[in-house]
Amino acid sequence: MLGNRDFGWLARETGIPVSTLSDYVHRGISKTDNAVRIAAALGVTVDHLVTGRMDNGAVPAPLSPDDHAEWEQIPFFEVRTVAIAGKGQPLYRHPFRRDWLGRMQCQPDAGWLTSLPSDYAAADLREGDIILCRDARIEELVAHALYIWQADRSLFVARYQPLSALEQVGDRAGERYVTQQVIGSGDGYAAPIARLLAVVLHKAG
């Protein structure tokens, strides 16, 4: 779940000491409030964090040895083009292990690659990072997950926050978020374009 990040990053995001996070790996998460904080930082549900179950309730199988792995060619699309005119023809395709895609909650025929249109410092993401994502549908939005959004002709990265008590679009504890009140199409609304599943390559520099 951490991808290219480490316990130091997770400790900064959650306020939980590295030693405690390391202990959780070996003994399990003992405090509910910490589980909520960790899940929010990673952009997953608490159920997925604790049990490993995907959105559909399935539990991922162990990764296969390399010589038995099946591979899928995942297309790359420019997200700004997708937001305006749809996917069209991919710029290129890159091979990924099918079992790894499953762990990322990504069906091979649904996942695609793109470069981030903006920074998201709270998750150590930078504009230009290559990410694995899948199409976002309003009815399938997951609380605290990271999405690429379009609003007022601009694209940005933010978490989905369903709580109505928060501001509609803004920053909270260094994170940008979008609430359900402003989700839609047209001026003044934010439309989800893609859900971030994993960082594939951090931009150099």
The whole-angstrom separation of Cα 26 and Cα 180 is 37
CA neighbours closer than 13 Å in the CB half-sphere of residue 160: 28
Q: Where in the chain is the domain with CATH 2.10.109?
A: 69-201
Q: What is the pLDDT of residues 54-103, one digit of tens each?
A: 555 555 555 556 567 788 899 999 999 998 888 889 999 988 888 888 87
Q: What is the dihedral of CA 100, 101, 104, 107, to 10 degrees?
A: -150
Burial of 159 from C-beta contacts in 10 A (0-12 / 13-18 / 19+): buried
Mean pLDDT for the stretch of residues 14-32:
76
173 pLDDT higher than 60: no
Say what the pTM is.
0.66
CA 192 to chain CA centroid, Å, is: 12
The SS3 of residue 1 is coil
Mean pLDDT for the stretch of residues 173-188:
78
Q: What is the pLDDT of residue 155?
A: 93
CATH of domain 69-201: 2.10.109
